[in-house]
Amino acid sequence: MPYGDHAAYLDHAATAPMLPEAIAAMTEQLGRVGNPSSLHAAGRRARRVVEESREIIAEAFQARPSEVIFTSGGTEADNLAIKGLYWQRRDLGHHRVVTSAIEHHAVLDAVHWLAEHEAAEVVHLPVDGLGRVAPADLEAALTDDTALVTIMWANNEVGTVQPIAALAAHARGRGVPFHSDAVQAAPFLPVSLAEGADALTLSAHKLGGPLGVGALLLAKGVDPTPVLHGGGQERDVRSGTLDTPAIAGFAAAVQTTVARRDETVRRVGALRDLLVDLVRAEVPDAVLNGDPADRLAGNAHFSFPGCEGDALLMLLDARGVSCSTGSACSAGIAQPSHVLLAMGMSSEQARGSLRFSLGHDSTEDDVRALTAVIGAVVERARRAGLT
């Protein structure tokens, strides 16, 4: 089985299994040599692979090839966008950073660092009970000294999709750069730089590509101050030798994902709905979190009253089901999710929550493997909580 001895992998939001097309593209390049910055034949061959990959990714997300900046992943891309745009705009007298209360830690921690070390004034926009940011709240937060806005396309925990076009329009109307972390949205939604964002973050491993590679899409004329300095690769914005095999795998994953997106969304969405129905049948008081309509096709996030999420996770893991209590980046930290708290949940409700996330290789067998054990697992977790 692809996941060891586990019966069901329901944690695609943490990382997705690589697509066969991505494995093939990456493997082909691993057997070849060549630094894409070198001028000899081997270097030119590697450069051609990189540039063809750049074109594929640009077309998929409605950007120009010159607007695709390769990075080591989503975290680096977020940091480059947020710190780089802040530093560039701070020199023009702008110090305010506007974000939401439910961002991934790659965004929140970068923003907090700017507040602590670079004199940034940070505004955290609230969300409603479904995890949505109101465009009117963003409009009210924009001032003449706003350096940038950063709001995720879709939430990594509860799956709620944000009204990105409306949010970006408010920022654009005030001449403020708008960045969006689209890492979770890219596998399921037609993410586009043309939607009005000035910068978009992507990560290969969330859509069936390899770990360790991603991209920051930067609109023409948007030039953040570099975070890394060195050889001046990637428009002088991100120095470092490009990982040709990983970039080839990234492009293959993007191309395959986009070609199959409609079919995948339909199939995975139906599996997600089945999962929701069956979990509710087994645990009638389970609460589905996030927007019930405008959410990622692969996301089902539940709160289980009277349970601790960590206990549920480990009990399910022992029964061959992989899932998550939220962001994998904060796994093991015994504190409630900042996303759920921002949505108005109590600490107790937030701690008793699990995320089940499906992807391109998910099957009905995965769903039924979960629902065959979830009732007994919840019952045992509740008994343990009473002792």
Q: Would you state the pLDDT for residue 5?
A: 58
Residues 231 and 270 in one domain: no
Do 200 and 304 fall within a single domain? no
Of 222, 256, 290, the last residue of a domain is 256
Residue 386, pLDDT > 70, answer: no
Contacts from 308-312 at CB under 8 Å and sequence distance 24+? 308/351, 308/352, 308/381, 308/384, 308/385, 309/351, 309/352, 309/353, 309/354, 310/334, 310/351, 311/381, 311/384, 311/385, 312/352, 312/354, 312/377, 312/378, 312/381
The pLDDT tens digits for 121-130 are 999 999 999 9
Q: Quote the pTM value.
A: 0.95
- Provide the angle, in degrees to the nearest 10, between the axes of the packed helices 20-30 and 244-282: 160
Whether the per-residue pLDDT at 327 is higher than 60: the answer is no
Residue 2: inside a domain: no
pLDDT at 6: 63
Is residue 167 assigned to a domain? yes
Residues 383-387, mean pLDDT to the nearest whole number: 71
Q: Does some domain include residue 118? A: yes
Statement to judge: residues 227 and 303 lie in one domain: no
Q: Is residue 69 part of a domain?
A: yes
CA distances from 379 to 251, 307, 312, 326 (A): 45, 9, 10, 21
pLDDT bin (cut points 50, 70, 90) of residue 1 is very low
Please give the pLDDT value at position 239.
94
| Statement to judge: residues 221 and 97 lie in one domain | yes
Compute CA distances 127 → 13, 360, 377, whole Å: 21, 30, 32
Q: Tens digits of per-residue pLDDT, 225-259?
A: 999 999 999 999 999 999 999 999 999 999 999 99
Tell me whether residue 1 is in a domain: no
pLDDT at position 296 is 98
For residues 186 and 250, state if they share a domain.
Answer: yes
Are residues 303 and 226 part of one domain?
Answer: no
Question: Mean of the pLDDT values across residues 106-118?
Answer: 98
Looking at the structure, tell me whether residues 135 and 248 fall in a common domain. yes
Instruction: Write the CATH number for 301.
Output: 3.90.1150.10
Give tens-digit pLDDT for 57-81: 999 999 999 999 999 999 999 999 9
**Which residues are identified as catalytic?**
329
CATH number of the domain enclosing 80: 3.40.640.10
Give the whole-number percent of the chain exceeding pLDDT 70: 95
Q: Is residue 244 part of a domain?
A: yes
Q: Are residues 74 and 222 in the same domain?
A: yes
**Does residue 250 sit in the same domain as residue 291?**
no
Whether the per-residue pLDDT at 333 is higher than 70: the answer is no
Residue 370 domain-assigned? Answer: yes
The mean pLDDT of 115-121, rounded to a whole number, is 97
Residues 250, 268 share a domain: no
* Residue 155 domain flag: yes
pLDDT at residue 16 greater than cutoff 60: yes
What's the number of domains the chain is made of?
2
Mean of all residue pLDDT scores within the chain: 94
- SS3 annotation, the chain: CCCCCCCEECECCCCCCCCHHHHHHHHHHHCCCCCCCCCCHHHHHHHHHHHHHHHHHHHHCCCCHHHEEEECCHHHHHHHHHHHHHHHHHCCCCCEEEEECCCCHHHHHHHHHHHHHCCCEEEEECCCCCCCCCHHHHHHHCCCCEEEEECCCECCCCCEECCHHHHHHHHHHCCCCEEEECCCCCCCCCCCHHHCCCEEEEEHHHHCCCCCCEEEEECCCCCCCCCCCCCCCCCCCCCCCCCHHHHHHHHHHHHHHHHHHHHHHHHHHHHHHHHHHHHHHHCCCCEEECCCCCECCCEEEEECCCCCHHHHHHHHHHCCEECECCCHHHCCCCCCCHHHHHCCCCHHHHHCEEEEECCCCCCHHHHHHHHCCHHHHHHHHHHHHHC
Residues 244 and 299 grouped into a single domain: no
Predicted confidence at residue 281, as pLDDT, reads 98
Are residue 109 and residue 236 in the same domain, yes or no?
yes
| Euclidean distance between CA atoms 344 and 363, whole angstroms | 33
Domain boundary, last residue among 206, 239, 256: 256
Structural domain boundaries, residue 230: 20-256
pLDDT in tens, 199-219: 999 999 999 999 999 999 999
Q: Which of 210, 239, 256 is the last residue of a domain?
A: 256
